[in-house]
Structure 1
């Protein structure tokens, strides 16, 4: 067996399990605190532990086992899934990821616990004591001098004597671990005399144990009587919340138990008062009843079957399909040249099948954008704590599909924009109150398909972007000439210039004048664009528009001066004849049924002589913008396999790639968004210059 391949599969599956565990902890709407969710969490830790054991990764096994033990108590109802436990499990999940990275780098320590994992294990051990959802440190932690002893509260089950067990045997075992202190016999309320069963065990024990034994050793003393008994074990220096939890388990009133602990010196009067006032997280009501839509949110998760495929094999398949598309187009041209009806019919059938294979192959590369979005709930949760802001993250359209090759390159730009929204976009709670807003700020991630593109929006309801401040900063840095007029979108786009920042103060998250220029550059490398919509005091929306796929597209072939060019078919609206007077006018606009649209002539763009024959205008759109592209001839639809341009042509504007036609000749793929922006910018510049000229004439 090839263990290197098996190990790679183990690492991949373990990372996916870590992602699943984090998602379940951070999404209470889809994963309410019920038995199904707890079983999912337990299976996740158990699977990682079992797989790690197969490869002999003892450190991973030991750590995952501790997590599994806590999750088992959660599943059995011994613990409540409170905020403290969620935070601890998330930290443990991060530690698992670090250990997996060390496995991949062949640097995993042979010791059962890493040094940075020891504090996490100690916190996990506290949740194994009696279900106390509490932290190890903090103001509720007891002083070392106040509790140098283990505190044990034992309530034996009624059939203890009939099963042949003696409570004193437990004390004898404990005496081997250390010195017993303050042993007290506790009698619960007895039943009426007529209902009294003489052979029942009614006694309980309260005692202190002075010992350096481990928790496992102390628990082993009650191994044979633990089933059915109520055992409360508090280690030395246990937090106050653990005392509160145990007192509530032992009876309806916590006062008698507090008195016993104060008598034995386990608690001072002040500490007992804090225990009385300590908040206790009750079990969520959703454990008894699922939230509406929660079951539906998880429905079908186990219904689909998947097979793991190496990414390289998938890329080779896409390349083969691309070559098949080109060969199919060539066959169609040959059939048309021979005018053979039967051959044309056969080729048409083959082309239909090739198109189906192409579509199916491309869907193999499509993954839900949730692969990117799922990383942000945790990040927003941690950042909101760091900044002291209350933030609600809403994710919409997570099932929108995007090309797998774009996922990783999209993550960093989104991370910059979300951090910017959280750090600078959203105000503090005090500022929001003064502005009449809810204290909780909202950040929304949304994705949807639009005209052959994937649109991803990052929206916040914060302070918005001050255009005046942006212009002032641009003038201060010499990025904008005095008196130059910019549109609203052009002004907002200034924030993407390198080193541009209007933040008053630097922070660990953003505001250093770096990042947004990288965002824009990365999005442009994906053949995408960014739009900004902002209202001061109401919020900002960053809209990223990306191509649906980077591999194969349905295109429309046009010609300019005997050169073939391809336009993405889904960006075309219609084709119209070019009005003769339009080219003679200085204004580059045409009237299409009452709408004036800017246009760009490819002959002018490529510095070619004017055409001697009638020309056509292809009306195209991208987002909310429309424009015309003037070409010589319209040739018809083609399937274009996009090939990237070489490094020397990367800066070429208006061209996004190349393709091979069915006749074997190359053709350039037009970058429609850039052409639309070029036409719109040129027309705005012409209008501005005309206005300035008229103003100077009046003066």
Structure 2
């Protein structure tokens, strides 16, 4: 039987569980953690251990078992949650990931411990009772072998009645093997909770040979377990099969009524069941006789008697970890399925082609002037737009997928620097395109690291400045006019502009005596090799990184802004397109070329009267408001227009500008295709698309054009002011 797909799901979901464990340990909102958090921590180790046992990943089982013991003591209040324990558990979580990586690379590697785990196990001993640790070691030494004769009590050789034992009856569903479960793995797991005093196989009736299906499970077990574990922990062993199989659990000294109820649930001849209970010492002959006669009056069922786990549905559960660790936000089981990213990409590509075909059909209908055809095409276009929007949402993921990686880093760096730092995370539910996640993680990591190292002052300097000793770094995300905005904000000392300018002059990056605006000065930190650090540390100060950060953001068709108030702190604001695939656009023309601009960045289109323009400062008067403008003819090196021109007013963030074009053609849906390597440095262009008529069009990079217009406006205004002063 091929379990490769089930194992792949196990590895993927186990890594997600590790991510959840780390997030729970570092969640500042949930500190000090409550019972829900402690249960989540325990359930993570418990689930990974149980599932790893199913696939025979013994090294993972051994390590997760010891970790689980500590987490059990933590949630029961026997061990307090300290900073040292958090650090240890984070390191153990890292080791779980290493073991998962090793096991996914090779089945053989899943059998052997890694050397990095030895010091972690030694540290975990301090949080366990010494006897428990020895028992765990003995248990796992024996756990490598299947339960064999020396560990079983032979029928007719009863265990002493006075021994307090758990009695378990396991009747596995016929399709247990089909779902990827090994019945013996549950015995191995139970052996880790105590000592199996008796294991009695119970066989289902065999069908005629011609009807025999060798992949079905015909075996069950009756067990006697000596363990101090709680009912919840023992029952948790079977959480993956409880809906399909029948599992009965009776605690030590359970009343006779519970035994009778279990016998009725099993649906097996009472005498056979009594024989097995007597054989393993669960019942005496006298107690068995009373059960035969139904005399259980002196042992009424207790209200809180241990329940019997029974199947509620015959439907299999192919994903073993589905209910193990609910995601943050309370996702309900059964509402989510996993899809390969390649399949999703193919769907987006097909939808893109559908958008282009739909646009072509619309043009044909318009050319023919057929009213009925136009109406039908309008309905089709509406449906295509809905399909497009739904398809694009499939690629959207919460930005918390990135933000969740930072609490660990901030915690470790703050310890290294001796600073007290609080990390605030806002807007984690804001969604971004999945393709941006990995490309955005490294730039954000660098910015946050700089904020912790350079932005926040030492405790002494903060107190001297009248601030709280604890510094704050805030991560925030939100949507703004078709863009995703991600902010990294700190309440540190801000950026010293004079120091930045002096360093730039010293390195020959800026001519001495040159006057720069505040924003231009701040932008100097993005120059290659630029750093204001007085000394190089392991964290920063080498002048490598911020130029790469800007380059990576621009590669995503985004931009990065800086706001800084000296003594108050700094904000790095990243603006990114909402999606990299399909947009609602507006088609314009310059000369014979078709161009497309994102519709959500447009404000209005107006005629461009020549008397409303200031050619000296390159501004246009829009109802008394002077805005910078860019002429696309001038940008592309074309001769001046002979006829009427139009100005498209666009915005990006807080900035506005005008784009001068020849003709306004109307709305289109554009499937954005990246430019080739040779055209990547083309100014003002972010991509290309195919129009409905089959002709290509370039997609305008509105943020870059606005940035160009605003910078030129500031430069021309400054030059005009300087010229006026010289005349005076």
TM over 0.5: yes
Report the CA distance between 1:554 and its aligned residue: 0.5
- Alpha carbons 1:80, 1:131 under 8 Å: kept: no
Specify the alignment match of 1:502 in structure 2: 532
- Do the aligned partners of 2:494 and 2:568 also contact (CA within 8 Å) in 1? yes
Residue aligning to 1:480: 510
What SS does the aligned partner of 1:38 have? helix
In the TM superposition, residue 56 of structure 1 has moved relative to its aligned partner by 2.3
Tell me the CA shift for residue 656 of structure 1: 0.2
What secondary structure sits across from 2:116 in the alignment? helix
Query: 1:21 aligned to 2:21?
Result: yes
Indicate whether 1:101 and 2:101 are aligned.
yes
Q: How does 1:295-314 map to 2 (within 5 A)?
A: 300-302=330-332, 305-314=335-344
- State the match for 2:60 in structure 1: 60
Contact 1:31 1:298 in 2 (8 A): no
Cα 1:343–1:226 shift into 2, 3 Å: closer
Equivalent residues of 1:582, 1:588 under 8 A apart: no
C-alpha displacement of 1:131: 12
Cross-structure match for 2:278: none
Which residue of structure 1 aligns with residue 384 of structure 2? Answer: 354
Q: Distance in 2 between matches of 1:370 and 1:341?
A: 49
CA distance 1:2–1:610, shift in 2 (3 Å): farther
Q: What is the CA–CA distance in structure 2 between the aligned matches of 1:611 and 1:49, rounded to whole Å?
A: 73
Secondary structure of the corresponding residue to residue 393 of structure 1: strand
1:345 aligns with 375
- Secondary structure of 1:449's counterpart equals strand
2:467 is the alignment partner of 1:437: yes
Partner of residue 8, structure 1: 8
Change (3 A) 1:599 1:226: closer
Residue range with higher mean Cα deviation, 52-61 or 457-466: 52-61
Query: What is the alpha-carbon distance in structure 2 between the residues aligned to residue 584 and residue 452 of structure 1?
Result: 31
| CA distance in structure 2 between the partners assigned to 1:46 and 1:691 by the alignment | 72
Which residue does the alignment assign to 2:115?
115
CA 1:304–1:694: 2 relative to 1, 3 Å: farther
How far apart are residue 548 of structure 1 and its match? 0.5
Q: 1:82 maps to which residue? A: 82
Question: How many residues are matched?
Answer: 550
Q: In the aligned structure 1, how far is the partner of 2:615 from the partner of 2:568? A: 43
TM-score by length of 2: 0.72
Whether 1:574 aligns to 2:604 is: yes
Partner of 2:704: 674
Deviation by residue 1:563-594 (Cα, 9 ceiling, x = unmatched): 11001000000011101235683331111111
Structure 1 residues 131 and 570, CA gap change in structure 2 (3 angstroms): farther
Is structure 2 residue 44 aligned with structure 1 residue 34?
A: no
Distance 1:328-1:225 versus aligned 2 partners, 3 A rule:
closer
Distance in structure 1 (CA, Å) of the matches to 2:617 and 2:685? 24
Cα separation, 1, equivalents of 2:82 and 2:334: 32
| Deviation digits for residues 206-237 of structure 1 (CA, Å, limit 9, x no counterpart) | xxxxxxxxxx99x99xx979799xxxxxxxxx
Cα–Cα, structure 1 residues 126 and 663, in superposed 2: closer, same or farther, change >3 Å? same
Q: Is the 8 A contact 1:396 1:445 kept in 2?
A: yes
2:352 aligned with 1:328, yes or no?
Answer: no
CA distance in 2, matches of 1:566, 1:413: 29
Structure 2 residue runs of 5 or longer lacking an equivalent are 133-160, 165-190, 196-224, 231-325
Matches within 5 A, 1:266-285: none
Aligned equivalent of 1:212: none
Q: Is the 8 A contact 1:48 1:64 kept in 2?
A: yes
Which residue is equivalent to 1:69? 69
Distance 2:409 2:102 in 1: 23
Which residue matches 1:687?
A: 717
**Alpha-carbon offset, residue 30 of structure 1:** 4.2
State the 1:611 CA deviation.
1.3
**What value does the CA root-mean-square deviation take over the aligned residues?**
2.6
Structure 2 counterpart of 1:293: none
Counterpart mapping for 1:71-470 below 5 A:
71-106=71-106, 109=109, 112-129=112-129, 300-302=330-332, 305-470=335-500
1:127 partner SS: coil
Q: Which residue of 1 aligns with 2:51?
A: 51
Q: Per-residue deviation at 1:57? A: 1.8
Q: Which runs of 5+ in 1 are unaligned?
A: 133-162, 167-215, 229-295
C-alpha separation between the residues in 1 aligned to 2:521 and 2:28? Answer: 40
Query: Cα 1:79–1:580, aligned 2, differ >3 Å: closer, same or farther?
Result: same
The alpha-carbon deviation at position 304 of structure 1 amounts to 6.9
Q: Is the 8 A contact 2:604 2:648 kept in 1?
A: yes
SS in 1 for 2:335: coil
- Give the match for residue 556 of structure 2: 526
Partner of 1:246: none
Q: Tell whether the 8 Å contact from 1:62 to 1:112 is kept in structure 2 after alignment.
A: no
CA 37–585 in structure 1, closer or farther in 2 if over 3 Å, else same: closer
Question: 1:493 and 1:18 mapped to 2: Cα distance?
Answer: 39
Contact preservation (8 Å) 2:99, 2:110: no
Closer, same or farther in 2 for the Cα pair 1:522/1:658, shift >3 Å?
A: same
In 2, distance between residues paired with 1:227 and 1:567? 65
| Per-residue deviation, residues 140-186 of structure 1 (Å, max 9, x unmatched) | xxxxxxxxxxxxxxxxxxxxxxx9699xxxxxxxxxxxxxxxxxxxx
SS at 2:640 equivalent: coil
Instruction: Kindly state the Cα deviation for residue 623 of structure 1 after the two structures are TM-superposed.
Output: 0.6
* DSSP 3-state at the match of 2:367: helix
- Measured after TM superposition, the shift of residue 516 of structure 1 is 0.7
TM-score normalised according to structure 1 size: 0.75
Q: 1:455-485: CA deviations, max 9, x gaps?
A: 0000001111000001101111111112322
**1:483-562 correspondence to structure 2 within 5 Å:** 483-562=513-592
How far has the Cα of 1:440 moved from its partner?
0.2
Q: CA–CA distance in 2 between the matches of 1:330 and 1:539? A: 52
Residues 456, 545 of structure 1: 8 Å contact kept: yes
Counterpart of 1:612 in structure 2 is 642
For residues 304 and 517 of structure 1, what CA distance do their matches in structure 2 show?
Answer: 45
Query: 2:619 and 2:679 mapped to 1: Cα distance?
Result: 30
CA distance in 1, matches of 2:497, 2:621: 33
Q: 2:50–2:61: 8 Å Cα contact kept in structure 1?
A: yes
What is the deviation of 1:37?
A: 2.1
| Structure 2 CA distance for partners of 1:7 and 1:107, relative to 1, 3 Å | closer
CA–CA distance in 2 between the matches of 1:649 and 1:321? 26
Give the Å deviation of 1:80. Answer: 2.6
Q: Give the CA deviation at 1:341.
A: 1.3
Rounded to whole Å, the distance in 2 between the matches of 1:38 and 1:580 is 70
Q: Secondary structure at the match of 1:115?
A: coil
1:498 Cα offset (Å) = 0.7
In 1, distance between residues paired with 2:37 and 2:354? 46
